[in-house]
Amino acid sequence: MLTTNAHYVFGTLHWWGWVTLILAFLQLFAAAGVLLGNQIARWFGVAVVGLNAIAQMFFIPAYPWWSLVIIAVDVVALYALCVYGSRANADAFWTDPDEGARAS
C-alpha cells in the first residue's frame, strides 16, 4: 500500500526508487562475487547491504511494513556475510557441499 502524502527531507519517492534500483544491481554483482568465493566481493556486499538497509529507512513513510521486512532481511544477510562468508567455507561448499555444512 502506497502512502500518497509521504514527505521526504531530500529527494522524492521517484528518486529513492532509482537509488534502490542501483543498489539492487550492486547487490547482484556482490552476490556473484560471493558465490565465486571472492573476499573483496564479500566485503563489498557487506557495504552495499548496509547501504540498502539505510536506504530502506527512507522508504518507511511510503511503505512502512515492506521497508521493515527488507531491513530485517538485510540484517540477516549482513550476519551471514560476516559470519559464514570466509574463504574456507566457500571452498568447502564448492568441493563438497555436505562438508561445508559440517564445518559450520
Structural domain total, the chain: 1
Structural domain boundaries enclosing 69 = 13-103
* Integer Cα distance of 30 and 45 in angstroms: 5
Q: Does residue 29 lie within any of the structural domains?
A: yes
Q: Does residue 96 lie within any of the structural domains?
A: yes
Q: Does residue 27 lie within any of the structural domains?
A: yes
Q: Does residue 41 lie within any of the structural domains?
A: yes
List per-residue pLDDT tens for the chain, 104 residues long.
555 666 666 677 778 788 889 989 999 999 898 888 888 989 999 999 999 999 888 888 878 899 999 999 999 999 988 887 666 666 666 666 565 555 55
